[in-house]
Amino acid sequence: MERRHVFLAGLLLVAMLAVLGMLVQTPSAGAQTYKWRLNQGHPQDSPFGKAAEAFAAEVKQRTNGRIDITVYHAGALGDWVLMNEMVMRGSVELDLNPVAPTYDPRLNIAYYTPYLFKTFQEGKVAYAKGGWINNMLDDLFAGVNTKGLSVLPLGMSGATVRRVPPSPGDPDVSKGLKIRVMPLKVCELTYKRLGYIPVAIPYAEAYSAIETGIADGQMGGPPFQGHEFRDVQGAWIQYNDFVETHWFKMTRKIFDSLSKPDQQILIEAAERQGEKQWEVALAQDEEYRQKMAARGLKIVMLSEAELEKIAKAIRADVWPELDKIVGKAIMDIARKNVGVPVK
């Protein structure tokens, strides 16, 4: 009996050593270590800089240091257009910037598409995980080897002008003012339909254009952008035509190679910062409206009825132009989700 026990004990020891050997030779799921770079375009102490750092810190903490992300601020690795390409190619693993449509014009919908929604809350729901804009963009990202982890808003757009124009919330009334618009055809058409005389001018030249009378106002950003023009403008009008969005983006091939737990950690960490930024942006919009008011600018907040009338006009008269840019199939998804009949 003793000899049999010794023999069984020996077999057990061999089996244990074999299992131990397998554990040593085959890392468990998620045991791989990574060192990645994340580029973001804003200063380190900005909300976006803080969000990037917090994202990297959470990922590192939840993976016990296996995933180590170094954040590069203020576009240190390149501007936002270049970074979209670098992430697509896998030269830089992560990015927090707007989406560039360089390799797929349908991605124009991720930047300036007026009145996909009329309010901040509508935008938050549409861009959230499972939201219709988020789902639509995930399919488009896949075509350019990119994974969108979460979206962060910059703020709700409006316009500054020298003076409050006639019926600012009625798109059928001529405003009699020239307004600087982003050099995008859709921006020109949008503000023309709002009753302005659009002038396409790069943002860097907008201030001097207003100073010299080439333009009477400017659009393209939220209230903190409007505050930059406080010394040469007399009013802010909250048009809510779009929310400029930045995305936590990652090379899709790298993302797909990760274990499911690691993928989930990345998504959850990015979504945590995205959720926070919707609140930060909402508060920041109000903060800068108050700052403009303190400097003597008239603040015009359009009513729900005015925003609805404007949105209907833009969707009817400007969206057909987007059919040519991003494709009717994409715009028909938008139409279905905002209640516009699809023809």
**In whole angstroms, what is the distance from residue 68 CA to residue 54 CA?**
12
Residue 170 reports pLDDT greater than 60: yes
Query: Average pLDDT for residues 115-132, to the nearest whole number?
Result: 94
Query: Average pLDDT for residues 105-119, to the nearest whole number?
Result: 93
Q: pTM of the predicted model, to two decimals?
A: 0.85
**In whole angstroms, what is the distance from residue 213 CA to residue 207 CA?**
10
**In whole angstroms, what is the distance from residue 99 CA to residue 246 CA?**
7
**In whole angstroms, what is the distance from residue 278 CA to residue 281 CA?**
5
pLDDT at 320: 96
Q: What is the residue-averaged pLDDT of the chain?
A: 91
What SS3 state is found at 71? strand
Residue 118's φ and ψ, nearest 5 degrees, are -110, -15
pLDDT at 108: 87
- H-helix segments, 205-300: 206-211, 223-227, 252-257, 260-294
Strand partners, 68: 35
Note the pLDDT tens digit of each residue in 37-53.
999 999 999 999 999 99
CB 179 within 8 A of CB 191: yes
Q: What residues contact residue 23 under an 8 Å CB cut-off, 6+ apart?
A: none
Residue 17 reports pLDDT greater than 50: no
Note the pLDDT tens digit of each residue in 218-274.
999 999 999 999 999 999 999 999 998 999 999 999 999 999 999 999 999 999 999
Residue 97 reports pLDDT greater than 50: yes
